[in-house]
């Protein structure tokens, strides 16, 4: 069994070999934390987008869509708080010249202590067997208690220091804990500094006239500044939502985790506008709805968990993450945030334009409160990909790699394979392909033995293969093979559409 790190490397290599994801500008040795999607990656990405859009916009009458520009007026980011508060504390190791997020260094240190506790508990569980009382052990074992206290002491000091922006104390804590650079092994640290994550560029052709503008770090602000345009033009009544899918950019400090943390990525966000005072009801509603959506992808429930935030972003009065168990551990996949009236209020103040809604039911004007659902498209892609990857030993002793991507998301739904390249089989296969291609993304392949082609389709994640053989020319029957069970069934060509509709949906 591969370790998680090995598994992650295998998935990254597989994604490249099978045309899912390539490093950006690879012939120039790549660009850190930027990736390109290949021929099959783009299909999977589009299918995830469509799945999200259908459930969040098309199937609902209380949410409408939007597509706003990446460039926005620079004051947007002043009002939203991103110019002043969208920072990560960073620290450099003077020996390795590597840069780290100071908060990640401390949080990783805490994780190591938590690991020690878990090891202690597991050891005791083995020793005591069935009589083991885990709760009592955790509450009374001196070593566990000592480590829990250590964690508590660190948290009591660390989070308030971050809150006060006391970066001197953050550095002191890193030194006192004896945290070393994972590369150089040294404790030779620079001071901790705040680092703004927004990319900026110039707009305008002449240098002196050019204005500094930002590449948006979230798509949400495009929704907020268009709140009244959308509400009036689409005649929406509160409660209602506005959804959009689009690129976002962040100059991430720690950016070595493939699609998990990228500098250019895509978000699928929805802002739900509600009456002030009703936001907690909607916050709970959206937490449940979004978890249901994830489970509907066909990924097991134990791969997900909620993580409610103790430390809230500057705009939120409640926030929870849906975390997914990636090969690098449980990490944030989606955020559900109760953003209060912070954003609309700030834009009203900075723009001087009223951003209020007149509620006929209560005969009152107000700035709506907002509950946001924000999911990373690339992280969802990574979740689907990493959950799908499996290596199997078969009964005959051979091995195969399969991407068990749920059929409704799979890039290619069906492969059409003439058994050999002659005797009229390719023509017959071409006819079938032509009859299916308007409804399903098909893939035609005539090279190699049929066994090799099946293996290739398994590794690509294609749920069904249809083989055309000599018998087909006589009786119009084909073989349909299931990727997961490898079972083969003989069906008539006239049944293919119906079978696929049942298995893949449309
Ligand atoms: N509008 C709220 C917002 O942007 P966030 O928690 O910063 O909240 C939302 O981001 C989601 O965007 C995350 O849950 C994650 O899936 C995705 N995301 C954020 N930063 C990312 C990055 N550097 N690379 C890939 N996905 C990222």
Q: What radius of gyration, in Å, describes the C-alpha atoms of the chain? A: 27
CA of 323 to the centre of ligand 1 (A): 12
State the pLDDT at residue 2. Answer: 54
Mutation to probe ligand 1, out of 37, 253, 318, 376 (largest number of atoms < 8 A from CB): 376
CA of 213 to the centre of ligand 1 (A): 21
State the pLDDT at residue 208. Answer: 64
Q: What burial letters (b/e) apply to 39-52, b meaning 16+ CB within 10 Å?
A: ebbebbbebbbebb
Asked if 332 and 307 count as a contact pair (C-beta separation under 8 A), the reply is yes
Looking at ligand 1, which residue's alpha carbon is closest to its atom 16? 376
Structure letter (DSSP) for residue 505: -
Instruction: Classify 23 as helix, strand or coil.
Output: strand
Looking at ligand 1, which residue's alpha carbon is closest to its atom 4? 218
Sign of CA dihedral 323, 152, 280, 248: negative
Q: How far is the CA of 3 from the CAs of 10, 305, 327, 330, 443, in angstroms?
A: 10, 22, 9, 15, 34
CA of 311 to the centre of ligand 1 (A): 16
CA of 334 to the centre of ligand 1 (A): 7
CA of 179 to the centre of ligand 1 (A): 27
The residue count for the chain: 506
Asked if 398 and 419 count as a contact pair (C-beta separation under 8 A), the reply is no
Looking at ligand 1, which residue's alpha carbon is closest to its atom 5? 335
CA of 332 to the centre of ligand 1 (A): 8
**Could you report the average pLDDT of every consecutive run of 10 residues in the chain (506 residues)?**
80 98 96 96 98 97 98 95 92 94 92 93 92 93 95 92 90 96 94 95 74 94 98 97 98 86 97 97 98 94 93 86 94 97 97 96 96 98 97 92 96 97 95 95 95 97 97 96 96 95 83
pTM here is 0.89
Looking at ligand 1, which residue's alpha carbon is closest to its atom 20? 261
Which atom of ligand 1 has the smallest separation from the CA of 376?
16
- Pocket lining for ligand 1, CB < 6 angstroms: 218, 220, 250, 252, 261-262, 265, 267, 269, 332-335, 372, 374-376, 378-379
Q: How far is the CA of 247 from the CAs of 148, 220, 252, in angstroms?
A: 41, 11, 15
CA of 88 to the centre of ligand 1 (A): 14
Half-sphere exposure (CA, 13 Å, Cβ side) for 271? 25
Give the DSSP letter string of 135-197. Answer: HHHHHH-HHHHHHHHHHHHHHHHHHHHHHTT-HHHHHHHHHHTT---TTT----B---EEEE-
CA of 358 to the centre of ligand 1 (A): 32
- Identify the CA nearest to 284 among candidates 371, 355, 411, 353: 371
Instruction: Classify 88 as helix, strand or coil.
Output: strand
Which atom of ligand 1 has the smallest separation from the CA of 219?
1
State the pLDDT at residue 168. Answer: 96
Name the region of 352 (left: φ>0; alpha: ψ -120 to 50; beta: rest).
Answer: left
CA of 333 to the centre of ligand 1 (A): 8
Looking at ligand 1, which residue's alpha carbon is closest to its atom 22? 261
Which atom of ligand 1 has the smallest separation from the CA of 377?
16
Mutation to probe ligand 1, out of 335, 370, 373 (largest number of atoms < 8 A from CB): 335
What DSSP element (H or E) covers 481?
strand 477-482
Which atom of ligand 1 has the smallest separation from the CA of 263?
23
Mutation to probe ligand 1, out of 45, 259, 265 (largest number of atoms < 8 A from CB): 265
Alpha carbon 233 to chain centroid distance? 31
CA angle in degrees (0–180, nearest 5) for 82-88-94 = 145
CA of 371 to the centre of ligand 1 (A): 16
Q: How far apart are CA 415 and CA 432, in angstroms?
A: 11
Lateral strand order in the sheet of 369-376? 63-65, 240-249, 264-274, 369-376, 329-340, 318-326, 304-308
CA of 211 to the centre of ligand 1 (A): 27
CA of 262 to the centre of ligand 1 (A): 10
Q: How far apart are CA 215 and CA 205, in angstroms?
A: 17
Mutation to probe ligand 1, out of 224, 379, 384, 385 (largest number of atoms < 8 A from CB): 379
CA of 267 to the centre of ligand 1 (A): 7
Asked if 114 and 91 count as a contact pair (C-beta separation under 8 A), the reply is no
Which atom of ligand 1 has the smallest separation from the CA of 261?
24
């Amino acid at each position: 069994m591969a370790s998680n790190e090995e598994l992650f490397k295998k998935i990254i290599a597989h994604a490249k070999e099978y045309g899912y994801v390539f490093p950006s500008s690879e012939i120039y040795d790549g660009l850190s934390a930027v990736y390109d999607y290949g021929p099959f990656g783009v299909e999977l990405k589009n299918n995830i987008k469509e799945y999200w859009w259908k459930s969040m916009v098309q199937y609902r009458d209380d949410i409408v869509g939007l597509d706003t520009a990446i460039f926005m007026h620079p004051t947007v980011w002043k009002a939203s708080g991103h110019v002043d508060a969208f920072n990560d504390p960073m620290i450099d190791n003077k020996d390795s010249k590597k840069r780290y997020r100071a908060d990640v260094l401390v949080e990783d240190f805490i994780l190591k202590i938590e690991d020690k506790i878990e090891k202690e508990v597991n050891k005791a569980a083995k020793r005591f067997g069935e009589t083991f009382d885990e709760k009592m052990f955790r509450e009374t074992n001196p070593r566990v208690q000592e480590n829990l206290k250590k964690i508590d002491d660190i948290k009591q000091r660390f989070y308030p220091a971050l809150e006060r922006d006391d970066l001197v104390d953050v550095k002191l804590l890193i030194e006192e804990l004896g945290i070393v650079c994972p590369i150089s092994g040294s404790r030779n640290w620079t001071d901790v500094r705040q680092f703004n994550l927004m990319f900026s560029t110039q707009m305008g052709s002449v240098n002196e006239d050019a204005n500094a503008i930002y590449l948006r770090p979230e798509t949400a602000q495009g929704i907020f500044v268009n709140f009244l345009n959308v509400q009036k033009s689409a005649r929406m009544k509160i409660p209602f939502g506005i959804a959009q899918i689009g690129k976002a950019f962040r100059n991430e400090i720690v950016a070595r985790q493939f699609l998990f943390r990228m500098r250019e990525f895509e978000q699928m966000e929805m802002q739900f506008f509600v009456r002030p005072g009703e936001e907690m009801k909607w916050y709970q509603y959206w937490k449940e709805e979004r978890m249901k959506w994830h489970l509907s992808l066909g990924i097991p429930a134990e791969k997900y968990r909620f993580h409610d935030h103790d430390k809230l972003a500057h705009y939120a009065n409640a926030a929870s993450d849906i975390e997914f168990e990636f090969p690098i551990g449980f990490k944030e996949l989606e955020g559900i945030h109760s953003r209060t009236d912070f954003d609309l209020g700030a834009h009203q103040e900075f723009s001087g334009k009223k951003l209020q809604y007149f509620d006929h039911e209560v005969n009152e004007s107000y700035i709506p409160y907002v509950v946001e659902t924000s999911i990373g498209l690339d992280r969802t892609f990574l979740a689907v990909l990493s959950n799908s990857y499996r290596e199997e030993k078969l009964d005959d002793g051979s091995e195969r790699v399969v991407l068990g991507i749920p059929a409704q998301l799979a890039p290619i739904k069906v492969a059409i394979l003439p058994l050999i390249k002659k005797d009229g089989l390719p023509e017959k296969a071409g006819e079938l392909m032509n009859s299916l291609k308007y409804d399903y993304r098909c893939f035609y392949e005539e090279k190699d033995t049929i066994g090799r082609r099946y293996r290739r389709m398994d590794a690509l994640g294609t749920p069904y293969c249809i083989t055309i053989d000599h018998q087909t020319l006589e009786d119009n029957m084909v073989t349909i093979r299931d990727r997961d069970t490898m079972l083969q069934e003989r069906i008539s060509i006239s049944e293919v559409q119906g079978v696929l509709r049942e298995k893949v949906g449309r």
